Each structure stands twice: as structure tokens, then as C-alpha cells.
């Protein structure tokens, strides 16, 4: 059973799907592992590190895609490489089925089994494979670090003979995995942290990390059965706007993390709210690539308006590619092992297994 991975376009994606540590685990499970030459040298993982684990290094990309039983990637391969995939192969990655429907339909016609791991069900058994959680954790952490690097004041309260510097006030919009990590990171630096979310269950989680939860009067619980946020009603949005407008006047740093799977990110922070923020404030918008949680976010640009800086990147994890790759590769490995019938040395697409059935593109 051959498991393979080719290099991503490093201008877009610096993470990799197989690290030397995980390659060793695949080999110990009886897999033959093949990767492209210079696959992860940009992360400090030289080809020799892989060779030491029994990995085959291949120069020709087409041979990687044509000969693998299981192809593991970060993103959906480019068209040229997609055409090289064969019947009964398995493609595993973050395939973005909402935006890549036509390409994935073509793969389905070729009888390629495509598994998109952002569709993984939120069940206990799937936690070790949950790429959204592992990657969002790092994104929440890094968004706080990037914001504080732009903020031109001290974060913790400092009492000196010359006077007292007050602690920075941080607001986290959206208390999912990224938001909760952002709260924890900001608290550790000594900031005063507030958070808001449409899901009522988030209040306890926010408070357990030392954050102050902003409650919208008469709030409805906008949580799907799968644990994700769903779109709010117009009445809720109006009440949330009023609460945020007042809160933002006193906030120094905002981390936006609110996303709705498969939809444009909700615009939560309007331009007039930004206008009333203190000059020198920072907004980091983790939802930028899906349209942004602010009215003026632009992807991969630092927008400065009304004295406030708004930042948002296509892929913040390119700033933490080694850590992100280590976690992602482990998630993929756990998924593959669940998919693999070791006794018969074959892939077992068991539709009664919720993990397999939910992630398979049908």
C-alpha cells in the first residue's frame, strides 16, 4: 500500500502533509511512503531525514500522483495533477468542497475517492483527526502575537515610579477553537480579555479561561447540532451591533474569528464602529479569506483607517508552518489508519463509519 505526497505551491502553502516523524509511523504500519524531492526542506526537513525513515524520494511529480494508493495533501492539487489521479485512488486533504465542487465532481466520475477533512464530524472518536481544531488553535495564538507586534503600547499593566501603564483590553469575536486559544494567549500576556459569540455554550468556556463574556440581551442559542455557529437573526444582529459599538470604544485589540462553514463570513464590525475606536487600536481578522468580519478588511493588506489598523491574511499558518505541519500530519495519519484495513492490507471505505462517510465527497 503506497502513500504519497507532492510539494505544495510554497507561495500559497508552506505546510506539508507528511513529516519525518509521521513517515516513520507509516512505514512501521507497512506502508511504502513516497514524497517529492525537496518536499519539506523549507521547514528544515532535509530529504535525508525522510530517507532515514525508509521514504522514497521522487523527482517526477506525475509519478507521485499516478502511483500512490493514497495521496495526502494540504489543498486540492492543481488541474494538471488532478488529471493524473487514477480510479480507486484516495485523495485526502483540505479540499474546500464548497468552492471546488466542479473539480471534485470530475474526480468522482473518475472513481477517485476524495476525503475532505474539514467535513469531519465533531465526535469524540474523531478528535485526533480534527484538522480544523489543530490548525485553528495555532491560528488563534498567532493572530494575538501578530496583533500585539503591531500594537504600540505595552500589553500587561505595569506599575512604575513614573506612573502606571494600564493593561490592554482585548476583544475576541467568536469563541470557537481559534477564539478560545486567542483568549488564553491574550490572558497569559496580562491583557484584560472580553469575548462574544452567538453560541450560549461558549460563555462557560470563555469564563473558564479568565475572559469576560459579553451577553446580548435575549440571546438565542445559534449553535448547530455539529457544534458550529449558524447565521443569526436580524434582531440578534441589531442587539449585537449595539453591544459591540459601545464595547469597541474601550478596546485596544480585536481578534475576529467568526466563520460559518460554506458561507461568506458575517460582517460583525461595521465601519462606523471602527471610526469610534481609539486611534492606535488593532483588528486582526482571521475571517479575511472568507470576506472578513469587518466592513473594510482586505486580504493580505494592512488597512489603516481612522487611526485603526485592520490586518488579515490568506493563510496565517504560513507563519507557523513547522508547528502546523506537525499537527496536520498527525491528524492525517490518524485518519488514514482509521481508513486502512491492516489485516487485508487495503482501504476499507466503510459507510457505516461516520468519520469516513461524512468526509467522503459523494
Share of the chain above pLDDT 70, in %: 96
Q: How far is residue 213's CA from residue 290's CA, in Å, rounded to a whole number?
A: 25
Contact 347, 71 (CB under 8 A): no
Q: How confident is the model at residue 74 (pLDDT cuts 50, 70, 90)?
A: very high
Q: Which of 84, 86, 96, 122 is catalytic?
A: 122
133 catalytic per annotation: yes
Q: Is pTM beyond 0.95 here?
A: no
Q: Which residues pair with 172 in a beta bridge?
A: 195, 255
| pLDDT in the model for residue 277 | 97
| pLDDT in the model for residue 224 | 59
Give the list of residues 6+ apart from residue 107 with CB closer than 8 angstroms, or none.
82, 85, 91, 114, 361
Q: Which of 28, 127, 201, 233 is catalytic?
A: 127
Q: How confident is the model at residue 41 (pLDDT cuts 50, 70, 90)?
A: very high
Q: What is the chain's length?
A: 362
What tens digit of pLDDT does each residue of 153-171 get? Answer: 999 999 999 999 999 999 9
H/E stretch holding 272 reads: helix 271-275
What is the signed CA dihedral for 114, 28, 321, 136, rounded to 10 degrees?
Answer: 60
DSSP state of 6: -
| pLDDT in the model for residue 229 | 56
| pLDDT in the model for residue 223 | 56
| pLDDT in the model for residue 139 | 98
Contact 7, 36 (CB under 8 A): yes
Is residue 330 scored above 90 in pLDDT?
yes
Q: Which of 46, 96, 228, 319 is catalytic?
A: 228
Q: How far is residue 181's CA from residue 223's CA, in Å, rounded to a whole number?
A: 19
**Domains in the chain, please, with CATH?**
2-119+320-359 (3.40.50.720), 138-318 (3.40.50.720)
| pLDDT in the model for residue 220 | 57
Mean pLDDT, the chain, integer: 93
- Name which of 3-7, 59-63, 117-121, 160-164 the model is least confident about: 59-63
Q: How far is residue 86's CA from residue 281's CA, in Å, rounded to a whole number?
A: 52
Instruction: Report the b/e string of 23-38 with b at 16+ CB within 10 A.
Output: bbbbeeeebbbbbbee
Q: How far is residue 187's CA from residue 255's CA, in Å, rounded to a whole number?
A: 13
What tens digit of pLDDT does each residue of 258-289 get? Answer: 988 778 999 999 999 999 999 999 999 999 99
| pLDDT in the model for residue 263 | 86
CA 251, 194, 255 angle in degrees (round to 5)? 65
122 catalytic per annotation: yes
53 catalytic per annotation: no
| pLDDT in the model for residue 72 | 98
What tens digit of pLDDT does each residue of 172-227 get? Answer: 999 999 999 999 999 999 999 999 988 878 999 999 999 999 987 655 555 555 55
| pLDDT in the model for residue 234 | 77
205 catalytic per annotation: no
281 catalytic per annotation: no
Amino acid at each position: 500500500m503506497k502513500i504519497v505526497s507532492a510539494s505544495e505551491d510554497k507561495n500559497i502553502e508552506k505546510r506539508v502533509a507528511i513529516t519525518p516523524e509521521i513517515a516513520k509511523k507509516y512505514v512501521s504500519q507497512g506502508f511504502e511512503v513516497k514524497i517529492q524531492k525537496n518536499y519539506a526542506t523549507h521547514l528544515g526537513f532535509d530529504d535525508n531525514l525522510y530517507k532515514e525513515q525508509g521514504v522514497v524520494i521522487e523527482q517526477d511529480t506525475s509519478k507521485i500522483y499516478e502511483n500512490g494508493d493514497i495521496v495526502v495533501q494540504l489543498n486540492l492539487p492543481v488541474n494538471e495533477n488532478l488529471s493524473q489521479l487514477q480510479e480507486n485512488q484516495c485523495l485526502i486533504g483540505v479540499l474546500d468542497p464548497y468552492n471546488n465542487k466542479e473539480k471534485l465532481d470530475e474526480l468522482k466520475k473518475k472513481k477517485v475517492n476524495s476525503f475532505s477533512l474539514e467535513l469531519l464530524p465533531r465526535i469524540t472518536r474523531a478528535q485526533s483527526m480534527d484538522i480544523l481544531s489543530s490548525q485553528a488553535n495555532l491560528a488563534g495564538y498567532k493572530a494575538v502575537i501578530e496583533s500585539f507586534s503591531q500594537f504600540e503600547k505595552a500589553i500587561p499593566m505595569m506599575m512604575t515610579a513614573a506612573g502606571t501603564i494600564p493593561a490592554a483590553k482585548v476583544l475576541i469575536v467568536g469563541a470557537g477553537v481559534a477564539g478560545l486559544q486567542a483568549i488564553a494567549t491574550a490572558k497569559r500576556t496580562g491583557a484584560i480579555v472580553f469575548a462574544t459569540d452567538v453560541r450560549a455554550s461558549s460563555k462557560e468556556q470563555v469564563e473558564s479561561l479568565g475572559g469576560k463574556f459579553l451577553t446580548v440581551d435575549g440571546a438565542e442559542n445559534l449553535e448547530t447540532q455539529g457544534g458550529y455557529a449558524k447565521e443569526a437573526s436580524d434582531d440578534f444582529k441589531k442587539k449585537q451591533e449595539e453591544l459591540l459599538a459601545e464595547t469597541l470604544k474601550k478596546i485596544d485589540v480585536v481578534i475576529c474569528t467568526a466563520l460559518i462553514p460554506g458561507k461568506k463570513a458575517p460582517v460583525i464590525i461595521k465601519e462606523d464602529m471602527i471610526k469610534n475606536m481609539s486611534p492606535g487600536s488593532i483588528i486582526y481578522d482571521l475571517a479575511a479569506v472568507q470576506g472578513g468580519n469587518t466592513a473594510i478588511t482586505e486580504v493580505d493588506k494592512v488597512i489603516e483607517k481612522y487611526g485603526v489598523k485592520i490586518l488579515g491574511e490568506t493563510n496565517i499558518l504560513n507563519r507557523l508552518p513547522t508547528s502546523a505541519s506537525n499537527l496536520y500530519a498527525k491528524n492525517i495519519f490518524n485518519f488514514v489508519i482509521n481508513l486502512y484495513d491492516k489485516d487485508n492490507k487495503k482501504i476499507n471505505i466503510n459507510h457505516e463509519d461516520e468519520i469516513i462517510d461524512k468526509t467522503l465527497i459523494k
